[in-house]
Chains A and B, each alone.
Chain A
């Protein structure tokens, strides 16, 4: 009998917080709302830490059975929590980063309307995300999966009076539906062929099937469908379009949901399903290709964006691409490692960006910033650390995880590595571009600005840019510390060894490191650091030393630059290919044609027919005696005629 850890408390605590704030928050003061949200979120974090402390004494994987959920013949679904090394990493990242962002959000949202609503949604998100992470079977995971989608929708559309925010929320929700469709079909296939959705049963069944090297078998189908779901949730090609629009939400939401936690759910799901993917190499190749292309594609878009949050959004898409690239070359632990460090530095980048936006009165356009390092030094330093981390400069966190991915990608196929390296250069370039445009040079914004997008910070008598309150800076500093040291746990493959029991392919990696490929690893490391430095140098050249040069380059590139600025016209393409035919088809065929033409018409015509028929009959009942007599006479004549006719015959 393994000791009970009361794992159910971890997701349920934020749910309680969400319920209190949701039902009673309107009547509570801001202090009370903030306290409730932080207490329950913090309690979940404390529980996660407690689990981490008790972890070594557990027989793994540890499952906690709560109740039967669905029983239908042999098919059984339980409410069950599942804990192994992978879960623990996710648990700590989600609760830890989530708690920090909660603290930050109290400061950031303080002057907002709907304060209690915001924290209710945020806690609700934590509940669903932890359900997803702790789930013991695919169906329970799917609850969390859908739930985080709901919370994401609610929070993107938090400023629902703004049309763009409302439609961005809808876009995120609908695009995610496409992915969920793939996920659901994959679940149906599992039920059909394995008779269960339980992780252990599905994986043991899958591991007994032969590896599908060629052809398009069951596991390949399931893997590809799961990847469709992951592409929706984790914003990969072709379903990434919702994530940049999701920046309409408040910045803490962008940090928590659309950078650190929710969007990594797809990576987690793929890593969790590694048994299936290991037996379906073709599906795995698709994962790798999608990830690699997304990483490159999003990075190029990020280079030309001017909205500080949009740059970070495309950067997130690109980094998620790296994680999928890692999963695609079966380096799951490298992917999860990058997921963790990314949660630190990207969460930090978003929070720092929020602090920047806060300081300049809601302005998000980097062309109207500049020179901010003298006004907001703490934000500047933390953001600088995060930039170093994401650019892959040692010894910051991103360097270790990204380098691990690139190394493993090189072992699988050097083509991945080339694209990954180029993307690393682009990443470094656009991040330093952001840093230089925002913090260096002269301040280009107006000191009396109030035209910002962020409802929060527009127009409260802004003078010159000012530093954010301590409650916002403290999480920045903690995350900066984590971005600095977070990668060190991966030195010498420690992180990989920790996760090795989950990913049985771990020994493959150790074999690779031990066969004297140290030299290769070092040279690859040198290449990626070189790419990062090159990106920094180019950004410095273009955006600090010769600020007129970028415009000239843009003019020289002409049409291509325009295409990149317009994000390769993907949104327009989707609008033409899918949205417009759907809207017009629904309008002309389904609405005017089927609904009005067939269904309404059938009902109305029945009524009209009855009306016309009775109208004709009504005229017989004129009340005129002689017309009655006429009808009687005519009837009589008819009867007589009939009788005569019969008689004659």
Chain B
């Protein structure tokens, strides 16, 4: 039997097998993760709330189910949950002062699904406030540091979840992705993350940032694990009217290891000046590996790529300004004392929101205001159509598109905080995928001279997760990607 200090290092797939072979119990597995959290989280700050008691109770219940037989794959598997998901009875803060003591009376749909399968929640992970950011430095609870180098960011906005998986504090985690918030931290922390097709996974009970862009997705240590998690998360939900009713395939079954004949598009606009040369080299090396496995590559063009960030920062901020109007001090969350209701709203929001959130609310409100709606929001929606069409045209000639996830590896804490625009520009490779509503997988593809992970992105047409996961899994299984654990 593996010593308890190593159980937390397992993949979900391995752990599920070995739990069924009674090599160890779900309780031992959960305790190993909780011990690990105790040992390293003071340095990482990946968790806002650790739910030790609840996790132990869930693990004990999982052991009962495993003993009875017929338990789901995720039964007894310890997961970290981004603090943007409503978890009934457990504080949910969105890393904001305005929700510091908010306890939801209900579970998000995906949380209920995971509970139903007997998964274990070890805690709520850190994030940029209301999912607005690319570094988890905008959290009201302090930044999450990168397990590979604690002077650097873990990425954002789902930095806590990415770091927790990279540091083996849990076997998988949930994040959300609106402009890259799963894919970028996955790349920076050297783990797998997937943003599914928009509408593939229910957003009910997930605190909204930008409703036409937000998507739920998992972090994991392997592509196979991501497929296992997505199989549970995906599917219709009458409580989310945007959620697709399309049947969910068995994503794990789709991992045949075969990429012969797969045509990979490589967009010329995604290999730009100012990129870290090692990032480009690592991605191009993977493309060579794909060719040796029987896939083919071709150069494609996504001509409107350079407009994606501008488009996003109107659409997302406009939608955010509407979604965050509910934080008004009336029904839940922080309330500042005031004589009249407008003052109540204003003082509560002034005190409760961080600088980046205020900035985006202001931008979004401006873009939607009378006299500016046509010039900004309507214009951005039209540019969004052009960006979507770029991908549709590209997919007429190739099956998937491969790009870097970010122009650099993890930057240093504080490096991009003085100029918001510099921070926004680091989303350059991920953002258009949200605008088009496509699935995007982020997986490790190498390390730079400072031992920092480099991430590769695989993009597919809508609802092509089987093909995208198959492509990622094939590369991983070929041994092309040497995985390294952070020394903590």
> Do the two shown chains form a genuine complex with each other?
no
